Structure 1
Amino acid sequence: MKIALLSDIHANLPAFEAVLEDLEKQQPDAVYCLGDLVGYNVWPNQVISLVRKHGIATIAGNHDLKVSKILPSVGECSKEENSDYAYKLVGNKERDFLLTLPRHLRLEFQLNDQPLHMLLVHGSPRRINEYLLQELPEQYMLELVKEFKADILCFGHSHRPYHRVINSGENGIDHFHHLVNTGSVGKPKDGDVRACYVLIMIDQMASIKSKDAVRVEFIRVKYDVEKAAQAVELSLLPDALADNLRKAY
């Protein structure tokens, strides 16, 4: 089975459209979005419309939940002051959609007479805005995957993609866990301006006892970065967000 995971679109329509086009070529069996459809750019409603049109199962990100406190109207603030502008662009029906998204999604596979549990979250299973950075101590990550019974833990939020494998096995019996950060479709922070998403391949021989049983591939997609950056500059959003897109930080 080929599963596509994407996250942190952040209202970047050109990036999202490029990823959708690439997904047509990849032909995954399932597509999931790990949240943060909105924020930082000017196309939140168009992004939400495409997510719904394509039937992409989606969980809430911390930016999606911010719309609960910000009404869909444009204020009179200057560019420098109007940090809430991106959320004021979200329409009423789109707000309703965001505020009913689940926080987590859990998938269970039965392979080789053995369960394989996959947990999809935005930040972490503990907090929607927790950063699970690659350099976190292994012991902390082991406690996390054990607490939430996750053989494959997938998340976004930091906008920095990585795949890390850890072993919680004891007494010579291996139990491998996969930690997968999807990176960001619409606002990469790893120095690569291209949109990023993940393909996870699980076959019938996959097992928690094999380190290489789950294959993870990061897909980078070129898109019109300048179009997205100029949209920021032509809006009431801070110009610094355009620089973020052009330099991926």
Structure 2
Amino acid sequence: MKLALISDIHSNLHYLEKILAAIGREGVDEIYCLGDLIGYYDRPHDVLQCCLANDIKAVRGNHEHYLIGSIGYAPEKEDLYRIREQREELDGEDMEFLKGLPDFMVVTLMGKTLYLTHSLPGNCVGYLRDVGQLDTGFLAGYDYFCFGHTHRPLINYHFGCCLLNPGSVGQPRDYSRKPSYIIVDLEKDSVTLVKVEVDYKAYSTILRERGYNDLTLHALERN
């Protein structure tokens, strides 16, 4: 059985479609998104509809919390996050979908147990940058701990648990300019990180013409 892990789509439908096309060639059985489907970019409604159409199972990230109002954010970040704008753009079905997302999931398949969340357990805003931030007793209960939020891919092992971060679909921050995903083959007990080529220049040009924040453009263009 194969699973695909994605994260941090951030309303970037252009990159999501490229990622899903690549995943479609992998023969996966399930796709899981580790939060932050919305925020930053220009197609939140279409991204959510695409996730629903592809039966992508998702957890809630900090940007979903910002949008539904369960966590606050600094007002000066609005031009960057575009939360108010997206709240107005999304319809009732979109909002119900976001409100229904769990903060984490525990999934057991083929005798393997996966913990899926956006970042630190119980803290979707804090960054998990070092495995030492996680309690070893907690990790001992899982074969895989899957998280996002940093926008940087990671495959690591700690006290018998495999830590997986697929990086970001919508805003890669590893200076590769390539969105990424991870394939987990439960039968072979193997994990594979895959990066996908995208036309970042064309997308950045569209966003620049529409007046998007320079920081969000730089995140797509830097290497």
Q: Per-residue displacement from partner, 1:94-153 (whole Å, max 9, x unpaired)? A: 222212211111112354xxxx321110112221122111x443x74524414xx22210
Residue 115 (structure 2) aligns with: 119
Cα deviation for residue 65 of structure 1 reads 1.6
* Structure 1 unaligned blocks of 5 or more: 71-79, 168-175, 204-212
- Partner residue of 1:244 out of 216, 219, 223: 219
Greater C-alpha Rg? 1
Kindly indicate which of the two structures has a greater share of residues assigned to helix.
2
The two structures have a TM-score, normalised by structure 1, of 0.79
The two structures have a TM-score, normalised by structure 2, of 0.87
Q: Which amino acid aligns with 1:183?
A: G
Contact 1:82-1:236 at 8 Å conserved across structures: no
**What is the aligned length?**
215
Query: Match of 2:25, SS?
Result: helix
Query: Which structure 2 residues correspond to residues 1-249 of structure 1 after superposition, within 5 A?
Result: 1-69=1-69, 82-89=79-86, 90-93=89-92, 94-109=94-109, 111=111, 116-133=112-129, 135-137=130-132, 140-146=134-140, 149-167=141-159, 176-203=160-187, 214-247=189-222
Q: Per-residue displacement from partner, 1:198-228 (whole Å, max 9, x unpaired)? A: 101111xxxxxxxxx7311011011121232
Compared with structure 1, are the counterparts of its residues 50 and 87 closer, same or farther at alpha carbon in structure 2 (3 Å cutoff)?
Answer: farther
- Quote the Cα distance in structure 2 between the aligned partners of 1:60 and 1:27: 26
Compared with structure 1, are the counterparts of its residues 126 and 164 closer, same or farther at alpha carbon in structure 2 (3 Å cutoff)?
Answer: same
- Quote the Cα distance in structure 2 between the aligned partners of 1:242 and 1:37: 18
